[in-house]
């Protein structure tokens, strides 16, 4: 009966109210039900109810639990009194009115204010609402009838009915029974009063009577104040729990979210700080991809990034390992890196990285921040161990947590509600516990802490408060335009010093930063980055195809100070020695125009392992591979370059490798995850389907009497006339077992030896084989 009333209530909602319902609960139209009756049935399914209950705040959920405790419809005035008695402070309105409006929008509550009731199925999902146990009749349903009768005879001897009914009636007012037990037994009841209502005791199903009860638990079991639900488990009947609570369903209930506590921040300062963090994060991702394009780490057999590669990457980026894991995971989530390369696999930048790199810094940050908000991977778990005590590596498949995006959004939503305030961790956790009480747990608290830490590292927050561009990103607005004026202006020059160092007085332009990283080693980072030129770094630039003149010209063009003589000498000296010696394939050979240099190599004891052989004054052959020979000679302090079979220099150090990766996830266009046009189309389809469902005909009885029989030609002629005129006919039809049946049809078309018609005796459309029709008659 309740389900029929609920269906009619759904059917009576306006189109706008239905759009609100399916937008707030998009799972109800995946796929779209055939009619509103199907929508009502789906809204009452346990999985759909549990999902929407998880989205309710503490006060709204308390209203649902109060209704669940009360059997049947209740007036709003009575509900207001129950809720008001549970409040820690203040009055229930206007919070109660807003909560009921939201619950009606979500189809969890229906009916007028004079008869408010929960939707069908909600009470079953809320097994222990507000920490209260089941009602007495349910709590004692597994007890033997004779045991219940004996208990009822002792505690309610003058009543009539079955043992369970008499026991339930006696527990509607358990004050007298509770007064009979000892203080220890009363204390045990009070421990269960505010939930959870279950406990464990040995031999819970023992048979005990009032005169044989000795322990406090036996006193409670004998009087029905506790009900055994298993061999070692008991529960407190709801009637007893409500009595112990003084008739209140909740205690210390808050109608509004708890206030956030923390440190006040200057919003302008927080925005600038967050912008600086955003800039540094973008640069870290860029540097990661540049390094991996030249020297990519391998993919582990189980997936992910190896521990050694992780430590090396952290050292190169000059970041803690947790921050490096964040950079690696966000770059992967944004589609900038992916597994590819060799047979075993390598982590390489994707072709999408080249498109990302040429965009403005603010636009690049938006891509990264949006990817972090939407990804279901948790970088903060890197370094921890799984259930099998195996380490969780970066990019490992086991880092996925489906609740991560929702936790990040909820955490930033809390910060958004407190502009200019850096709330404390405990304050944020209390607020989230109020906003989504059914989603509490250790993992959720851990994910919240990760979200706060990572938002600061990404530049969504500054000094613990949400930044202006972070707020714009959450609202789906143009965050790049808000961030761009706050970003530090890149500089296109460095300050060269006599000690072979260069100081970048600010963030360098992208191209100059790439060139400096190639030609020099980063010595320190901070407000100003210090680069150091060394023989190895200059040789690295020469190996990449740069010439001595190009290096010097680049330094003169981008240096605010004259190029120091020591640096010019270093570049010229390395350039003079670079390429004088060439390595080819013999397996490999060394070719040099200076025989004296080859004499020096042959006399060097370290070259013994290379198994060199002098072929000519300017050529030495080796059984080592070309790559091994080049690496060995460089380790000995020489500066060889590899050459091809044609004698051309092979430039391999700046070979930027790429792989094809998945496209980054597109941002959600609607806060509810459902496009408004989709909601409108779904409601339109539901209305049309419901109209057809209500207009369907009920099956009718076939006429009594002899089944029609007529010649085949006459049958075909009558059916053709019925199709043209749109009239009904009465036919005789042989089923697949050869039994003669009688049908009333509305013929629609006849083709291929079959008649398609609406069968009124079955209330459905069917196809009939013409050779099985025994005859036809008009009606």
Tell me the average pLDDT across 190-199.
88
Looking at residue 746, which CATH number applies to its domain? 2.30.30.100
Tell me the average pLDDT across 689-706.
73
Helix/strand/coil for 624 = coil
- pLDDT, mean over the chain: 87
430 found inside a domain:
yes
Per residue in 645-663, pLDDT tens?
Answer: 666 666 654 445 666 665 4
Same domain for 633 and 504: no
Q: Which of 679, 692, 693, 695 is nearest to 32 (CA)?
A: 679
The pLDDT value given to residue 748: 85
394 found inside a domain:
yes
Q: Is 668's pLDDT higher than 50?
A: no
The pLDDT value given to residue 489: 78
Within 13 Å and on the Cβ side, how many CA atoms surround 246?
A: 4
- Give the pLDDT band of residue 487 (cuts 50, 70, 90): confident
The pLDDT value given to residue 667: 42
Domain count of the chain? 6
Per residue in 81-132, pLDDT tens?
Answer: 999 988 988 889 899 999 999 999 999 999 999 999 999 999 999 888 999 9
Measured between alpha carbons, how far apart are the two ends of the chain, in Å?
A: 39
Looking at residue 37, which CATH number applies to its domain? 1.10.10
Same domain for 294 and 344: yes
**In terms of C-beta distances under 8 Å and separation of at least 24 residues, what long-range contacts does 96-99 make, across chains too?**
96/63, 96/255, 99/59, 99/60, 99/63
- Give the pLDDT band of residue 665 (cuts 50, 70, 90): very low
Same domain for 232 and 119: no
Same domain for 121 and 141: no
605 found inside a domain:
yes
Same domain for 124 and 148: no
- Say how many C-beta atoms besides its own lie within 10 A of residue 768's C-beta: 20
Q: Are 204 and 234 in contact (CB under 8 A)?
A: yes
Same domain for 171 and 102: no
- Give the pLDDT band of residue 538 (cuts 50, 70, 90): confident
Select from 128, 153, 188 the last residue of a domain. Answer: 128
The pLDDT value given to residue 661: 61
The pLDDT value given to residue 652: 54
What is the domain extent for residue 145? 136-244
Same domain for 317 and 226: no
689 found inside a domain:
no
The pLDDT value given to residue 342: 58
431 found inside a domain:
yes
> What DSSP element (H or E) covers 440?
none
Provide the pairing of β-strand 461-462 with 465-466: antiparallel
**Backbone angles phi and psi of 159, in degrees to 5:** -95, 165
Q: How far apart are CA 140 and CA 237, in angstroms?
A: 9
Same domain for 191 and 113: no
Which residues touch 73 (CB under 8 Å, ≥6 apart)? 111, 115, 116, 117
494 found inside a domain:
no
Evaluated on CA atoms 559, 563, 564, 569, the torsion sign reads positive
Select from 429, 463, 486 the last residue of a domain. Answer: 486
Same domain for 375 and 355: yes
20 found inside a domain:
yes
Task: Pick the range with the lowest mean pLDDT from 28-37, 349-358, 652-661.
Answer: 652-661
- Give the pLDDT band of residue 641 (cuts 50, 70, 90): confident
Tell me the average pLDDT across 138-162.
85
- Say how many C-beta atoms besides its own lie within 10 A of residue 427's C-beta: 18
Same domain for 81 and 55: yes
- Say how many C-beta atoms besides its own lie within 10 A of residue 263's C-beta: 11
Same domain for 141 and 124: no
Per residue in 382-426, pLDDT tens?
Answer: 988 877 888 889 999 889 998 999 999 999 999 999 999 999 999
The pLDDT value given to residue 20: 93
Tell me the average pLDDT across 207-225.
87
The pLDDT value given to residue 451: 96
The pLDDT value given to residue 669: 36
Per residue in 616-635, pLDDT tens?
Answer: 888 888 878 887 888 888 88
The pLDDT value given to residue 660: 63
- Say how many C-beta atoms besides its own lie within 10 A of residue 33's C-beta: 20
> Which pair of structure tokens corresponds to residue 582?
């060439």
**296 Rama sector, left if φ>0, alpha if ψ -120 to 50, beta otherwise:** beta
DSSP 297-360: PBBPTTSSB-HHHHHHHHHHHT--HHHHHHHHHHHHHTTSEEEESSSS-EEEEBHHHHHHHTS-
Q: Looking at the chain, how many residues does it have? A: 779
Task: Pick the range with the lowest mean pLDDT from 104-118, 671-685, 692-706.
Answer: 692-706
Residue with tokens 């944020």: 428
Q: Are 620 and 584 in contact (CB under 8 A)?
A: no
Q: Are 209 and 223 in contact (CB under 8 A)?
A: no
- Give the pLDDT band of residue 670 (cuts 50, 70, 90): very low
Select from 447, 462, 486 the last residue of a domain. Answer: 486
Q: How far apart are CA 543 and CA 75, in angstroms?
A: 84
Q: How far apart are CA 775 and CA 227, in angstroms?
A: 69
> What DSSP element (H or E) covers 612?
strand 612-616
Helix/strand/coil for 421 = strand
**Backbone angles phi and psi of 475, in degrees to 5:** -85, 0
Q: Is 482's pLDDT higher than 90?
A: yes
Task: Pick the range with the lowest mean pLDDT from 394-398, 689-693, 773-777.
Answer: 689-693
Q: 3-class secondary structure for 674-718?
A: CCHHHHHHHHHHHHHHHHHHHCCCCCCCCCCCCCCCCCHHHHHHH
Same domain for 475 and 547: no
The pLDDT value given to residue 277: 94
Distances 194 to 84, 142, 216, 235, 251 between C-alpha atoms, Å: 18, 24, 19, 12, 9
186 found inside a domain:
yes
Q: How far apart are CA 494 and CA 517, in angstroms?
A: 13
Nearest-10 crossing angle of helices 510-519, 548-558: 130
Q: Are 52 and 27 in contact (CB under 8 A)?
A: no
């Amino acid at each position: 009966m309740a389900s029929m009333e609920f269906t009619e209530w759904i059917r009576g909602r306006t189109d706008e109210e239905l759009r609100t319902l399916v937008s707030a609960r998009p799972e109800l139209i995946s796929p779209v039900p055939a009619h509103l009756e199907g929508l009502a049935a789906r809204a009452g399914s346990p999985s759909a109810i549990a999902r929407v209950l998880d989205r309710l705040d503490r006060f709204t959920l308390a209203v649902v639990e109060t209704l669940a405790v009360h059997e049947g419809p209740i007036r709003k005035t009575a509900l207001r009194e129950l809720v008001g008695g549970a409040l820690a402070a203040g009055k229930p309105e206007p919070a109660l009115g807003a909560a009921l409006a939201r619950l009606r929008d979500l189809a969890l509550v229906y009916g007028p204010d004079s008869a408010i009731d929960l939707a069908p199925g909600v009470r079953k999902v809320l097994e222990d609402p507000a920490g209260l146990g089941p009602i007495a009749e349910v709590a004692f349903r597994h007890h033997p009838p004779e045991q219940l009768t004996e208990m009822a005879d002792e505690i309610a001897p003058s009543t009539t009915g079955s043992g369970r009914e008499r026991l339930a009636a006696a527990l509607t007012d358990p004050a007298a029974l509770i007064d009979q037990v000892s203080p220890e037994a009363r204390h045990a009841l009070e421990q269960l009063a505010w939930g959870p209502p279950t406990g464990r005791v040995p031999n819970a199903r023992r048979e005990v009577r009032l005169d044989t009860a000795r322990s406090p638990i036996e006193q409670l079991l004998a009087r029905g104040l506790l009900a055994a639900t298993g061999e070692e488990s008991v529960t407190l009947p709801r009637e007893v729990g409500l009595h112990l609570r003084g008739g209140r369903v909740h205690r210390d209930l808050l109608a509004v979210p708890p206030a956030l506590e923390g440190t006040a921040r200057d919003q302008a300062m927080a925005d600038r700080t967050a912008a600086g963090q955003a800039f540094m994060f973008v640069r870290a991702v860029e540097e990661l991809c540049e390094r991996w394009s030249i020297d990519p780490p391998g993919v582990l057999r189980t997936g992910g990034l190896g521990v050694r590669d992780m430590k090396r990457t952290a050292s190169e980026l000059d970041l803690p390992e947790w921050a490096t894991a964040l950079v690696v995971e966000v770059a992967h989530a944004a589609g900038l890196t992916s597994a590819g390369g060799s047979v075993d696999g390598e982590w390489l930048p994707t072709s999408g990285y080249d498109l990302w790199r040429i965009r403005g810094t603010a636009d690049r940050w938006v891509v990264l921040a949006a990817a972090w908000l939407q990804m279901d991977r948790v970088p903060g778990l890197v370094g921890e161990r799984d259930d099998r005590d195996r380490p969780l590596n970066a990019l490992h498949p086991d880092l996925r947590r489906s609740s991560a995006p929702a936790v990040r959004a909820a955490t930033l939503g809390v910060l958004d509600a407190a502009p200019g305030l850096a709330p404390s961790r405990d304050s944020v956790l209390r607020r989230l516990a109020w906003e989504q009480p059914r989603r509490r747990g250790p993992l959720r608290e851990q994910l919240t802490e990760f979200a706060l830490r990572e938002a600061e590292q990404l530049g969504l927050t500054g000094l613990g408060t949400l930044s202006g561009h972070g707020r714009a990103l959450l609202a789906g607005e143009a965050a790049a335009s808000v961030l761009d004026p706050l970003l530090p202006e890149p500089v296109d020059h460095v300050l060269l010093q006599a000690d072979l160092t260069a100081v970048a007085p600010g963030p360098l332009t992208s191209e100059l930063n790439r060139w400096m990283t190639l030609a020099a080693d980063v010595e320190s980072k901070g407000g100003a980055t210090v680069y150091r030129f060394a023989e190895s770094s200059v040789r690295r630039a020469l190996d990449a195809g740069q010439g001595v003149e190009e290096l010097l010209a680049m330094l003169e063009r981008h240096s605010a100070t004259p190029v120091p003589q020591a640096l010019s000498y270093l570049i010229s000296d390395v350039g003079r020695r670079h390429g004088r010696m060439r390595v080819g394939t013999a397996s490999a050979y060394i070719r040099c125009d200076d025989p004296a240099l080859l004499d020096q190599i042959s006399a060097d004891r370290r070259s013994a392992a290379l198994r060199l052989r002098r072929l000519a004054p300017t050529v030495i052959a080796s059984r080592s591979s070309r790559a091994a020979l080049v690496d060995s000679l460089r380790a000995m302090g020489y500066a060889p370059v590899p050459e091809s079979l044609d004698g051309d220099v092979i430039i391999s150090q700046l070979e930027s490798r790429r792989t094809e990766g998945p496209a980054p996830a597109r941002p959600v266009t609607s806060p509810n995850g459902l496009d408004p046009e989709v909601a409108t189309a779904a409601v339109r389809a539901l209305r049309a389907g419901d109209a057809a469902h209500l207009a369907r005909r009920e099956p009718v009885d076939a006429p009594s009497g002899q089944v029609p029989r007529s010649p085949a030609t006459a049958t075909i002629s009558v059916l053709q006339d019925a199709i043209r005129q749109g009239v009904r006919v009465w036919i005789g039809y042989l089923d697949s077992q050869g039994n003669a049946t009688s049908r009333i049809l509305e013929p629609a078309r006849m083709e291929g030896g079959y008649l398609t018609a609406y069968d009124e005796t079955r209330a459905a459309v069917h196809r009939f084989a013409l050779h099985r029709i025994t005859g036809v008659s008009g009606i």
